[in-house]
Amino acid sequence: MRYKFHIVDVFSASSYGGNQLAVLPEAAGLSPNAMQKVAREFNFAETTFVFPKTDPVNTCRVRIFTPKAEVDFAGHPTIGTACALAMGSHVGKGRLVLEENVGPVTVDVEQRDGIYYGTLTLTGKIDAPEGAPPTADLAAVLSIEPAEVRQVFFAGVGLPFCFVELASKAAVDRAVIDRSAWSTKLSRAWSPNVFFFAGALKDGGELYARMSAPALGIDEDPATGSACAALVGAMASKPDFRGEIYRLSVTQGVAMGRRSDIEASARKANGAVTSVSVRGAVAYVASGEIEAPS
């Protein structure tokens, strides 16, 4: 049986930038094994599969697969799926609620000057456990000098990350994942997914970032919305931030030739983060049909 698909580029206003995503808008009938095979065939960072909603108040059910495994939540697939469904007239623009393994996720879809934008909003606790590896371990994982690592910490909202702040953009560009060091020092940590960045880590700051998730079959990700959501949530959660909205602008994927522009924000009230949001443009690339694996 053949299934329709759309391909979009997420966190880019024009095609052939940002993070690629394949969306199967009518995936009913596909087994988890078949979905995994389809995700491996597209070989993008993620592929999404849309099913009928289980709760009448929501828009649809969405499952997300990397080439290697299913994940409960991810940022660029959530925003990309919502915009792809609106582009293909499967749903209207406006507020969509996607049922993901992590729970209902809200995406506001708008079109301005012919460009689609999606804003993902999450509520709930920011996970930020102690016990991150020492800076020397992450220097080894990234094949850089220990002096170039400023701090290492864990955080996550649906998908966990190990965040590594580096001293310069040049260090971010120069970093190379050492698989042996990653296997011994990070693969069994709270999060083996490493998001490394440089820039102004303050409200309104601009960051230059890269991300690698070997455990998920992703050597490098051009844009990681879930990491940006966790990062602004973790920073806004700090007691020394007393404002109401914490914002970061993140540029990712440059070295891969797929520049991605991500706007992330966290809202805070009474000393606690109440929500995190990630926003970006989505560009249409292609549509077609794929033969489902048996």
Same domain for 287 and 253?
no
Same domain, 167 and 272: yes
Over residues 156-174, mean pLDDT: 96
Domain count for the chain, please give it. 2
Same domain, 111 and 148: no
130 is a catalytic site residue = no
The Cα angle at residue 213 between residues 151 and 159, in degrees rounded to 5: 80
Q: Classify residue 126: in a domain, yes or no.
A: no
Q: Is residue 128 part of a domain?
A: no
Tell me, yes or no, whether 130 lies in a domain. Answer: no
Residue 58 is assigned to a structural domain of this protein: yes
The bridge status of strand 149-156 relative to strand 115-123 is unpaired
Residues of the chain above pLDDT 70, percent: 100
Of the two residues 223 and 124, the one the predictor is more confident about is: 223
What is the pLDDT, as a whole number, of residue 158? 82
Supply the CATH number for residue 180's domain.
Answer: 3.10.310.10
pLDDT digits (tens, 9 = 90+) for 57-97: 999 999 999 999 999 999 999 999 999 999 999 999 999 99
d(CA 18, CA 253): 7
148 and 272 share one domain: yes
Q: What is the reported pLDDT for 272? A: 92
At 192, give phi and psi (nearest 5°).
-90, 0
Q: Is residue 125 part of a domain?
A: no
| pLDDT in the model for residue 163 | 98
Selecting among 26, 41, 46, 291, the annotated active-site residue is: 46
* Rg of the chain over all Cα atoms, to the nearest angstrom: 18
Same domain, 88 and 212: no
Claim to verify: residue 143 and residue 263 sit in the same structural domain:
yes
**Do 181 and 201 lie in a common domain?**
yes
Q: Provide the b/e sequence for 214-248 (b: ≥16 CB within 10 Å).
A: bbbebebbbbbbbbbbbbbbbbbbeeebeeeebbb
pLDDT tens sequence across 210-222:
999 999 889 999 9
Contacts of 18 (CB under 8 A, 6+ apart): 9, 10, 11, 12, 76, 222, 223, 253, 258, 259, 260, 280, 281, 282, 283
pLDDT of residue 294: 77
Same domain, 249 and 287: no
Q: Are residues 211 and 261 in the same domain?
A: yes
pLDDT tens-place string over residues 241-262: 999 999 999 999 999 999 999 9
Instruction: Judge if 169 and 182 occupy the same domain.
Output: yes
Mean pLDDT over all residues of the chain?
96
8 Å CB contact between 250 and 284: no
Averaged pLDDT, 174-197: 97
175 within domain boundaries? yes
Q: What is the pLDDT of residue 173?
A: 98
The answer on 104 and 164 residing in a single domain is: no
In a domain, 222, yes or no: yes
Q: Clarify whether residues 105 and 199 are in a common domain.
A: no
**What pTM did the predictor assign?**
0.93
What domain range includes position 201?
Answer: 135-280
pLDDT of amino acid 285:
98
**In-domain check, residue 220:** yes
